[in-house]
Amino acid sequence: MRFQLLRFTLVDSTNDLALQAAETGAEDGLVVWALQQTKGRGQKNRTWESQPSCSLTFSVLCRPNQEEQTVLGRFTALGALAVARAVKVKTGLDAQVKWPNDVLLNGKKICGVLAETDLQAERAGAVVVGVGVNLLPGAFGADTAMNYPASDVFSETGVSLDAETFLWTILEAMQELRGYLPGDAFTQEWNERLAFKGEVRRIKNHKGETGWFRLLGISIDGSLRVEDADGHEFCLQSAEVLPSSSSSSG
């Protein structure tokens, strides 16, 4: 990937700008970075706002090649794994990926990823990978609705990161990871960084039903392999791993 960086002071949504750029022919590797966004989106239409100097919010335009067309569901993980790698480089600490799209440090959410696809004649003309990272306290308001306990990189590591430097560290990791996005090595790294692997956690499925399941790992298609209380294994294509006051690893 060859990155071309567009920097803005204030936007509604970096994903929206990147998708608009895709429609007008922008090339693979366009990066839309905003110091502040007011209408950013997370999974399930949740809001992801950002504050100047406290957050890093950007979107990367990808033009999937033929091989990548078969693994479009991995682009969300591409963003999350790149952030996890960058955290390791800059802080020395291991971050984990909560399936399918959050990055956790010490069990708290510091980053969310939203990948959106521009479909043309049943083919992905573009995938935009939106990333929002909480760098410092104040990245989100105390009254902000959260689907998971949130924090920021500084609070969890004591390391104050320069937003632009950290952005390029993430992009470098994304470039390397994308080199083997369609292969087994990508799924292997995803499994190595999977939060709560081997633990029993509360999960809500696409119907809104909740239950306790052991997380076994990520399947080749990006679905979450779980095991129920009776020992039956199956895969979840759309679900949410919920915060819980208690869990079992036995």
Residues 176 and 226 reside in one and the same domain: no
- Considering the domain architecture, whether residues 174 and 220 belong to the same structural domain is answered as no
Domain match, 126 and 230 both: no
* 249 lies in some domain: no
Q: How many Cβ atoms from other residues are within 10 Å of residue 108's Cβ? A: 17
Sign, Cα dihedral of 28, 30, 31, 34: negative
Same domain (yes/no): 170, 51 = yes
Residue 248 pLDDT grade (very low, low, confident, very high; cuts 50, 70, 90): very low
Cis peptide before 149 (omega within 30 of 0): no
**Quick one: 111 and 232 in the same domain?**
no
Are 110 and 153 in contact, with CB atoms under 8 Å apart?
Answer: yes
Query: d(Cα 198, Cα 72) in Å, to the nearest integer?
Result: 26
* pLDDT score recorded for residue 166: 98
Structure tokens at 205: 């499925």
Q: Are residues 160 and 236 in the same domain?
A: no
Tell whether 129 and 232 lie within a shared domain.
Answer: no
CB 111 within 8 A of CB 103: yes
Task: Please report whether residue 247 resides in a domain.
Answer: no
Both structure tokens of 200: 């029993």
- Is 214 found in the same domain as 138? no
Total number of domains in the chain: 2
Domain hosting 234: range is 200-241
**CATH code assigned at 26:** 3.30.930.10
pLDDT mean over 133-153:
79
Is 45 a residue whose pLDDT tops 60? no
Does 246 map to a domain?
no
Q: How confident is the model over 17-34, as a mean pLDDT?
A: 97
Across the range 214-225, mean pLDDT stands at: 96
CATH number of the domain where residue 214 is located: 2.30.30
pLDDT of residue 139: 82
For residues 222 and 189, what is the distance between their CA atoms, to the nearest angstrom? 12
Domain shared by 182 and 205, yes or no = no
